[in-house]
Structure 1
Amino acid sequence: MKIPYFLFGGLAIWFGIFILRKNNIIIPLINDYFTDFITIPLYSYVIKYIMNDILSHHWKPDLQFYISSFIYISLLFELICPMISPRFTSDIFDVLAYFLGGFFYYLFEKSRMKFSGFKNNHIIN
């Protein structure tokens, strides 16, 4: 599995935002929502990497995986964590960013599988 350029880009931007936050430089839209937008794609990529490259399965995430990931991440970071720690806050726009990130990544992966010879998680003969 090749590491896609957007993964490096997403991690680089996330790290840049982290450094800016540490230096009290806040860019509102990017600081508040971009990191949430890339959460589901990064989470999905890491799980796919573990399943395929470490455990040697031939697994492709389906729509159910993306929906359950969105629900899990949303409940964890927007409901449970804010009840446990004041460091976390609930924000409906964070939930929207998780959804949109997962949705666009699902469409990206679906089109990538279509063009690479995969259909319904099987190689086309």
Structure 2
Amino acid sequence: MRIFKNPIFITCCLIFWINQAVEYWSFESSPFLYSYLDDLLAMPVILGLTLQIFQWIHPKKDNFRFTMTQVIVGFLYVSVAFEWILPAYSDTYTKDFWDIFCYFLGTIVFYLGINPKNKAISN
């Protein structure tokens, strides 16, 4: 199944875009949602888009999936970049353990719900 047709990926993207619109137009929002919803949805959206691009260019096409190692590297990359490196150089970013926890939960959502399962190869 293509990633763009995956209902979990579509739901994550729609919620992310709605949340961005709410923040942009300064509508009232829960402080918890304002602080953590984007972080929770980041990994399913980032990894989902990346996986779709890989499926377009990889010889396995729709059968290509990320390994657990690749998913963990993606999680670590985003966590280190946004919670360690960027806060050191910009006042816009702040270190927050809960952001990393949200990235972790989002990574699990991606791996279990969006990353396609290996199909048995028949001879």
TM norm structure 1: 0.81
The answer to whether the Cα contact below 8 Å between 1:38 and 1:101 also exists between their aligned partners in 2 is yes
**Distance in structure 1 (CA, Å) of the matches to 2:109 and 2:17:** 22
Residue 106 (structure 2) aligns with: 101
**Distance in structure 1 (CA, Å) of the matches to 2:78 and 2:44:** 12
Residue 16 (structure 2) aligns with: 14
Q: Which has the higher contact order (CA 8 A, sep 6+)?
A: 2
Residue 27 (structure 1) aligns with: 30
Q: Which runs of 4+ in 1 moved over 4 A?
A: none
Question: What CA RMSD, in Å, does the superposition of the two structures yield over aligned residues?
Answer: 1.8
Say if 1:42 and 1:57 are closer, same or farther in 2 by CA, change over 3 A. farther
1:77 aligns with 2:82: yes
Following TM superposition, by how much is the alpha carbon of 1:105 offset from its aligned partner in structure 2, in angstroms?
Answer: 2.0
Give CA deviations for 1:50-87 in whole Å, capped at 9, x if unaligned.
1111x143221011011101100000011111112111
Q: Which amino acid in 1 is paired with 2:121?
A: I
Say if 1:108 and 1:2 are closer, same or farther in 2 by CA, change over 3 A. closer
TM norm structure 2: 0.82
Please, which runs of 5 or more residues in structure 1 have no aligned partner?
none
**Distance in structure 2 (CA, Å) of the matches to 1:77 and 1:68:** 14
**Distance in structure 1 (CA, Å) of the matches to 2:75 and 2:3:** 24
What percent identity do the matched residue pairs reach? 22
Say if 1:95 and 1:29 are closer, same or farther in 2 by CA, change over 3 A. same
